[in-house]
Structures are given as structure tokens and as C-alpha cells.
Amino acid sequence: MGPTVPDISVSELWQDRTVDFELSGEQEQLRASIRRFLADRAPVRPYVRSLLGDQRGTTDEVWQGLAQLGVTGLLVPTEHGGAGEDLVTMGVALEELGRAVHPGPVLASAVGAVRAVTAAGSPADRDRWLPGLASGEVVGALAADEPGPRFRWRHPVTTATRDGTQWRVTGTKTWVLGGTTADVVFVVAATTGGLGLFAVERSDLRAEPTPSVDLTRSFATITLDATPASRVGGDDDRDDTAAIGAVVDAVGLALAADGLGAAERALELAVEYATHRHQFGVPIGSFQAVQHLCADMLRQVEVGRAGVYYALWACDHAEPAERHRAATMAGAFSSDAFAWVAAGAIQVFGGIGFTWEHDAHLYYKRLLTLQTLWGTAEEHLDELASIVIG
């Protein structure tokens, strides 16, 4: 049976003033700082294009710059060297990274790894991992997915068994974002007591690059064969399914926030092109078919924005059942809608949009992999049905 959905409406949230759909001045300043940094130090040309297919996806200079801006430590509590911000603020940063189709491991490390430690970790785990993740000196990743349906993470084939004072993990994890170069990967595995999170360090990993149409990000298939690991949260054989579910929802929404930025930028590029490209002596943007296409693209972006940011808020402020419902609804819409926006941009560009030299394909491929990483609309709607119907 699925989780019980609380009887709560958006209007009630507004009346309670627990949701603010306007970004704060500090969040807008963060957006401006990151956009300026990426434009100056990591523009699509030449920076992103020079790193296409690169497994690390960043340079020391840019990674350290993002760390100095505080991006890598946004979600890390202040007592461990971070900013102690919420997922909405992280969403602002990720939206900007998506606009720039940034190839670095920010999402994998600053969201996936950090949330894994904060959700399931003991005080000792937090002391061990969070300062390095916050400063960028340690790069982490989350390995939850396996071959099969998106929500199979709840019933993994990967297992962990105790070997004296140590744990050993066996199984295969797919589509691990940033997994080939991460210093530590937090692996979801089944134990006799339920689900657990296990930290596997790079020296013990066997990670193979996974080919993808999206060359702006690196993915790995990780094979574990009685691989030594340490359990996050301590050695007791408890069930961490609830904590892992919160992490999975957060990472999915982080991907959606990145996708929102990519879709928004694809739309901007298309509108700019339609304004300046002339055909039959007039801008192509004066043609009704192009206007209607751009208007539909804008609608998809803005509806997706509302769903993504509400779900980001729910991750930190709503009950677990509402958090998961909001994340699932955001996924059901955005996973297909954002890819559709990028495809529409290519239609506006016409023949030039299909070429390697134009940047349109970078946004389109980035958004296609959103469906692979977070699930298609059909998968999310199936999950939503299980929530509503039980």
C-alpha cells in the first residue's frame, strides 16, 4: 500500500504562509553570482564544448570557483562548513547550471552525496564526509538505480552483508551520475533488516563509463563484488528506506531543476533566433506557427517551474507523503515536457538546429537524459496512481 496523502491544498498553504513562491533577495543574488561566474569562467563556448565526453567534467579552476561561491556546500549544515540552505536555494543554483549545460559533478556531489549523509548518516558520518563535500575537496555520488523500472530502488538486487566489523556489497548499479571519478559513492543495498546506504571509496570501486547521448555529463555502471564498504548511520541492521526515499526524491528534483534551466535557455535561444532570422523579408517570429510553438514552449517551462519549485519546497517543509506526491507530480510533467521544449527549439532553428556546431543539440540531449535518470512521464504516473489509489 502506498503512503497516505495528507488532506492539504495549495490555498491552505498560502493561508498559512508556509510557502513563498517568490525568491528572496539573497536567492536572487546567488542566481546572479552563479550566472555571472559561469558566463565568465565556464561558457558553453569554449569551456563546455572542450569538456564534451570528459569523465570529470570540470577543471580545478572552475570547481574551486564554484566551491568558493558556496555552491558545493549549499545543503551542508553550517556546523560542517556549509551554508545550511534548503533545496529551493539549491534549485536556484542548479537552474543556472542547467542554463549553461554545465558538465561538472555539482548535482551528484552537492545534492546526491550530501543528502545521503545528512538523511541517513550518524554524527560520525557527518563529521567524516560533510566538511570535504562542502569544500569540494571530496566529490561524492549516489548509486541507487539498477536495470529495470525507475522505482526499483526500493527492491534492489544489490545486497550488503556483514563481514566481521565490515560490510561487503555485491551487485550492479547503473546510470550513476559522476560515478567514474567520485571519491566516494553512496550505494543503496538490501540487508536482512531492509535497505541501507553504504559508502564505497574510489580505491575499491569498479566503475565503467556508460555511453550516453548527453556528452555534457558522465555516467557510470558500477559493479560490486563483495566490495568492502562502511554503512552510513552505523552498523545496526535497521531499515533506512524512508531516508533513502527522501534522498531519491531530492536528487530527482535536482535533475528537474537543472532541466528547467536548460529548457528555459533553449526557449530563450529560440525566441532570439525567431526575432532575428528573416524569411520572405520578415522575421520568422512574425509567422503564426512559430509564435504558437514558442507560446506552447513557454507554457511548458512555466508550468514545470511551478511544479518543480513547489516539490523542492515540500522536500524540506512538508510531510514525507506530500513530499513524495509533489516530487512524483513534478516528474510526471517535467520529464517529458522539458525535452519537448528543447525539441521545439530545434524546430524553430530549422536546419541549423540539427548541426553539431549549433548549441541547440546540447540542450536537447541534456533533457533527453532527464527521462533516463528520473523516469518517463508514464513511470511517474504509475507511481502517482499507486500513491492515490494505494
For the chain, the structural domain boundaries read 17-139, 141-239, 242-389
| CATH superfamily membership of 242-389 | Butyryl-CoA Dehydrogenase, subunit A, domain 3 (1.20.140.10)
Q: Does domain 17-139 have CATH number 1.10.10.10?
A: no
- Residue type at position 26: E
Peptide bond into 46 cis (omega under 30): yes
Note the pLDDT of residue 150: 67
d(CA 309, CA 287): 33
Residue with cell 530563450: 268
Note the pLDDT of residue 295: 96
How do the pLDDT tens digits run along the chain, 390 residues long? 333 334 444 434 434 445 556 889 999 999 999 999 999 999 999 999 999 999 999 999 999 999 999 999 999 999 999 999 999 999 999 999 999 999 999 999 999 999 999 999 999 999 999 999 999 999 999 999 998 766 778 899 999 999 887 899 999 999 999 999 999 999 999 999 999 999 999 999 999 999 999 999 999 999 999 999 999 998 778 899 999 999 999 999 999 999 999 999 999 999 999 999 888 989 888 899 999 999 999 999 999 999 999 999 999 999 999 999 999 999 999 999 999 999 999 999 998 988 999 999 999 999 999 988 888 899 999 999 999 887
d(CA 243, CA 195): 10
C-alpha grid cell for residue 21? 513562491
Task: Classify the phi-psi angles of 342: left when phi > 0, otherwise alpha if psi is within -120 to 50, otherwise beta.
Answer: alpha
- pTM for the model stands at 0.92
What's the angle, vertex CA 143, arms to CA 140 and CA 147, rounded to 5? 155
C-alpha grid cell for residue 283? 522575421
Alpha helices by DSSP H, the chain:
10-16, 25-41, 49-50, 60-69, 87-99, 106, 114-120, 123-135, 241-276, 288-317, 320-349, 360-374, 377-389
171 secondary structure, DSSP code: E
**Residues 222, 108: contact at Cβ < 8 Å?**
no
d(CA 263, CA 241): 32
d(CA 175, CA 307): 25
Note the pLDDT of residue 3: 37
Burial category of 163 from C-beta neighbours within 10 Å (exposed 0-12, middle 13-18, buried 19 and up): exposed
Distances (CA, A) of 18 to 10, 81, 214, 243, 318: 10, 27, 38, 23, 10
d(CA 355, CA 348): 13
Q: Does domain 141-239 have CATH number 2.40.110.10?
A: yes
C-alpha grid cell for residue 269? 535561444
The residues near 168 (Cβ < 8 Å, ≥ 6 apart) are 160, 161, 162, 226, 227, 228, 229
* Measured torsion, CA atoms of residues 275, 307, 379, 207, in degrees rounded to the nearest 10: 80
d(CA 103, CA 63): 11
Residue with cell 545496526: 236
